[in-house]
Amino acid sequence: MKKSIHLFVLVFIFLISCLSSEAQSPKREMRSVWLATVWQLDWPSITVPKATGSNEPARQAAINQQKNELKVIFDSLKKANMNAVFFQVRGMCDAMYTSSYEPWSAYISSERGANPGYDPLSFAIEEAHKRGLELHAWLNPYRYSSSVYSHGNTSIDYANTHPEWLLDYGDYVKILNPGLPEVRERIKCIIGEIVNNYNVDGVVFDDYFYAYGGTPDNLDAAAQALYKPENQSIGDWRRENVNKMIAGVYDTIQNVKPYVTFGVSPFGTWTTDQNVAAQRGIPLPIGIGTTGNMYAEIYCDPVAWLEQGTVDYLSPQLYWTTYSAYPYGILAEWWSKLTNRFGKHFYSSHSLSSMTASSAPAAVASKIKINNEEIHTSAFSTLELDLYRTKKSTSVSAAPSAVNFLPSEIGLQIDFNRDYDINDAPGSVFYATSKFMNTSGFISYLRNQKFIHPALRPAISWKTHADLPLISNLTISGNTLSWTYENDNVCFAVYAVPNENRNLPGIFTSSDYLLGVSYNKQFILPASVNENSHKIAVTVMDRFGNEGSPRIYGESLTPSVAAPLVYPENNTETVIPCIFQWETVQEADSYIWQLAEDEQFTNLVCSRQTKDNSFFSGKQTNLKDNTRYYWRVKTLKANAEEVWSETLSFISHKFKILSPANGNTNVSLLPAFKWDSISPTASYTLEISSVWNFLETKRIFITTVNTTSFVVPYGTLIGGTKYYARVMVNDGNISAVTESVSFTTIQETIPVPQILQPIDGSNIQGTSIQICWAEQPARGFRVELSTSSTFPPRSTTVKTVDAYTYCTIYEQLTNNTYYIRVKATTPDGLTEASDTVMVILKDNTSIGNNTITANWKGYFQKNDKNIYLVLNAPTSEKVRVKMYSITGTLLLQKEENLQEGINRIPIPSEKLLQGIYPLEITGEKNRLILKLMY
């Protein structure tokens, strides 16, 4: 077997730097809302009266009102170019659908258990699909009741049928006991029934597991006695109970309809315990607050679900602003990288309230009154508490205006999601729907600023799926586009490309021409589109989200052409991450690069779409070292059936940075980098950046060496700062690049600066004052010069100086008494000021600006060790050279015999500090003034 490294096209560096600009209109993006039905938070505004035999008109009126309200919500989502809704169907062991296990919800009917006269979930699915919206059934897995009002007492309620299943936290706050196998089995059955009986696109849980506020150790003592191993902690056992439930639900869905996606919306932080993170090999985000350890409080461990592969996506509740103690951008980056590491998706949940650090859940009253129902806060999930905090009255069903809410803050959060995404799967889920609907101008902002074009939801591309034949019989009648297709369990994407753009490459990989999605075999074209001005096309999209080749109206079928594979070659050991390459297929619109662990592609790792004839595997960080992989490429070409290339295999060798480890903290300011050795003749380029995507404008350091280690020089890195590093290897014509690592430098103690120059009370000759202070750790310095010892702002001149710079100069000053002080910049602000230095400035020095009253031409020449004054003299002449400090002190005096032509006069520099030094060169009739910048 031969070992190979492939050409890493350096253009990739540019492409990575452009990710943020390209991501502004992604074709693939989850855009959804949480539509809460519990306590009628978002919908419905009224309940259907229980049937009495004589109130059918009132019941029908309530049903119609509920349906119309839901249609209005879905219309608004469609208007905002959204593509999904998370519709709550089970809030308290009840049902917004026909259930064999639990009673009808009291939030759809006037009484728990009363049939509302229609199936809300079935209706919601039908109406969502009419508008091209996915519907994910949102369930709360454990909560049974939150108050005496919601404490069910029907014949099939668990309080009557299985009271032993319930954990009682007091105040009628009860949940199903996660430690009981019977409970886990019941939750699986409930999910199985929904997935079997309803055409849902997904299932999603919110963050209510064990109750918020903590669970006493003895509350589930009976279950512990039966099921907890003696050597297992209560915390680990409870987390394992939740993990088993999540795994059981996932397996149930895979056995019934594997295309139904399963996601969970955990709290916005995983854990604050560094020991837990270290045990799992996952660095925690740097620069956020230290509260909110839901790993220990509600026993929620989303990392375990990723490790076990039991979720398709996570939608963590990042309910903080970009400028809070938990900065949104830091958390979005962390979750995005975490999910990519395990090959799954991250769809952030956003709060539409004006949340600040002071509005954390702990600040909410212990009990909340909603529609006369008094509820303990431990019965709420984070989602529900967030909505409550935006309400101005006790009636939470009425959505107030968001006085302090700025759409641009949410826009910035959306940008962070897109910027940090490397899955081609950014996503935003907004809470709550009432805020989405009722915040003036928000829908218009999304449509005009962020969701300018429709988007397809991200494909669940790691699950096996059948190829997708072209549609047929594409016709247009008036403004109705229709077609035929052999399979009904699919949906369709519709495009309209202006005629002049028909032959542009990759037009169907762009959102620019996407009109929308249809769940049936027709689509109403907008008035601005017709067959004369546009090329109208339809693609098939399976329920996983995978898309087939486009069929264009009025064009003939064309032959399929497989792409010849180029690199990596078959049966080679290949350094990864690398560029996978294949030959371009003429007129191909895009390609699907696919990777698997078996030759039959039943154990898929991923499938990624690209319009290029290459794919960089560094965007798929779940690839393993020393593993045999199989790869192939599908060609997607307009009017041609899909066709696969041949299959090739390789064994991966992961080119990686060995130290510092990813996520390391307290890293030295002189870190020693080490990386894999690829070949004896290779050269390696180490690049350090302040941003994850290595924008050239944010580059901190770059160097190329022939060794596999390098110590970053002094003066490069600042303490307490997060950096990103990667290494590129080049061996003549071939290259590869590591995955990036992040590290945070040690934060040294930053002392109060000590001024070395000038000396307090000194008299200075001239118009300039050079200020120097002792070398010390700092993020920078603030130098203040004032004519008053109290440093009032109006008479104080401030200079900001970078780290590792210990001198600055004030010029063009007038005769006066000046006061000087220096402060060091810290992560939290500034240190105290240094001792104040007072100087008296008198402008009577003979040394001014560069002056020429001679026929000489002079300049300075510097190398690593010496400084030379270079003079070009027209004739031989004896001269005197004097060098002064900026304060007018004579530092050097010497005589030199100039010869005709170029003369190099050495200037001693061993004792010079950083600053400006005037030189005066005088002869019998000539005089030259120069300033040396050292």
479: left (phi over 0), alpha (psi -120 to 50) or beta: alpha
Which residues, 6+ apart, have CB-to-CB distance to 83 below 8 Å? 29, 30, 31, 32, 132, 133, 134, 454, 455, 456, 457, 517
Q: How far apart (Å, rounded) are the C-alpha atoms in residues 472 and 598?
A: 34
Q: Quote the pLDDT of residue 402.
A: 35
Task: Judge residue 761's burial from the number of C-beta atoms within 10 Å of its C-beta, 0-12 exposed, 13-18 middle, 19 or more buried.
Answer: exposed
User: Higher pLDDT residue, 105 or 729?
Assistant: 105
Q: Are 676 and 656 in contact (CB under 8 A)?
A: yes
Q: Quote the pLDDT of residue 321.
A: 84
Domain boundaries, the chain: 1-19+459-654, 29-450, 655-744, 755-842, 851-933
The answer to whether 655-744 and 851-933 have equal CATH topology is yes
Q: How far apart (Å, rounded) are the C-alpha atoms in residues 467 and 323?
A: 46
Q: Quote the pLDDT of residue 398.
A: 28
How many CA atoms does the CB half-sphere of 190 hold within 13 Å? Answer: 28
Q: Are 178 and 241 in contact (CB under 8 A)?
A: yes
- The tokens describing 576, both together, are 């990864």
Most confident of the following: 276-290, 723-737, 750-764, 861-875:
750-764
Q: Are 747 and 720 in contact (CB under 8 A)?
A: yes
Residue 828 phi/psi, 5-degree rounding, is -100, -5
pTM of the model: 0.76
| Domain 851-933: CATH superfamily, name plus number | Macroglobulin (MG2) domain (2.60.40.1930)
CA 821 to chain centre: 42
| 3-state secondary structure at position 301 | coil
DSSP for residue 39: G
Residue 916 phi/psi, 5-degree rounding, is -115, 135
Mean pLDDT confidence for 359-386: 54
The C-alpha angle 282, 284, 288, rounded to 5 degrees, equals 170
pLDDT, tens only, 311-363: 999 999 998 888 888 899 999 999 999 999 999 999 999 998 763 323 333 33
Bridge-partner residues for 593, per DSSP?
608, 633
Query: Which contiguous run of DSSP H or E holds residue 167?
Result: strand 166-168
Give residue 403's pLDDT band: very low, low, confident or very high (50, 70, 90): very low
Closest to 346 in 3D by CA, of 320, 304, 311, 381 = 311
Residues of the chain above pLDDT 90, percent? 70
Q: How far apart (Å, rounded) are the C-alpha atoms in residues 447 and 165?
A: 47
Tokens 């399979």 map to which residue?
487
pLDDT, tens only, 13-42: 333 433 443 446 899 999 999 999 999 999
Q: Quote the pLDDT of residue 592.
A: 98
User: Higher pLDDT residue, 9 or 598?
Assistant: 598
The DSSP annotation for 589-625 comes to EEEEEEEESSTTS-SEEEEEEESSSEEEGGG-TTPPS
pLDDT, tens only, 202-215: 999 999 899 999 99
Residue 503 phi/psi, 5-degree rounding, is -95, 10
Residue 715 neighbours by CB distance under 10 Å? 12
Closest to 8 in 3D by CA, of 582, 612, 614, 421 = 614
The C-alpha angle 851, 852, 858, rounded to 5 degrees, equals 100
pLDDT, tens only, 503-521: 999 999 999 999 999 999 9
Residue 530 neighbours by CB distance under 10 Å? 14
Which residues, 6+ apart, have CB-to-CB distance to 236 below 8 Å? none
Residue 84 phi/psi, 5-degree rounding, is -160, 165
- The CATH code of the domain at 29-450 is 3.20.20.80
| Assigned fold of 755-842 | Immunoglobulin-like (2.60.40)
Exposed e or buried b per residue across 582-610, where buried means at least 16 C-beta atoms within 10 angstroms of its C-beta: beebeebbbbbbbbbeeeebeebbbbbbb
Across the chain, mean pLDDT equals 89
Give residue 924's pLDDT band: very low, low, confident or very high (50, 70, 90): confident
Give residue 901's pLDDT band: very low, low, confident or very high (50, 70, 90): confident
Q: Are 472 and 483 in contact (CB under 8 A)?
A: yes
Candidates 3.40.50.720, 3.40.710.10, 3.10.310.10, 2.60.40.10; CATH matching 655-744? 2.60.40.10
Q: Quote the pLDDT of residue 888.
A: 67
Torsion over CA of 330, 333, 334 and 339, rounded to 10 degrees? Answer: 160
Candidates 2.170.120.12, 3.30.70.3400, 2.40.50.100, 2.60.40.10; CATH matching 1-19+459-654? 2.60.40.10
Q: Are 839 and 769 in contact (CB under 8 A)?
A: yes
pLDDT for 484 beyond 90 = yes
Give residue 399's pLDDT band: very low, low, confident or very high (50, 70, 90): very low
- The identity of residue 650, as a single letter, is F
Helices within 439-494 (DSSP H only) = 442-445
Q: How far apart (Å, rounded) are the C-alpha atoms in residues 818 and 841?
A: 7
pLDDT for 392 beyond 70 = no
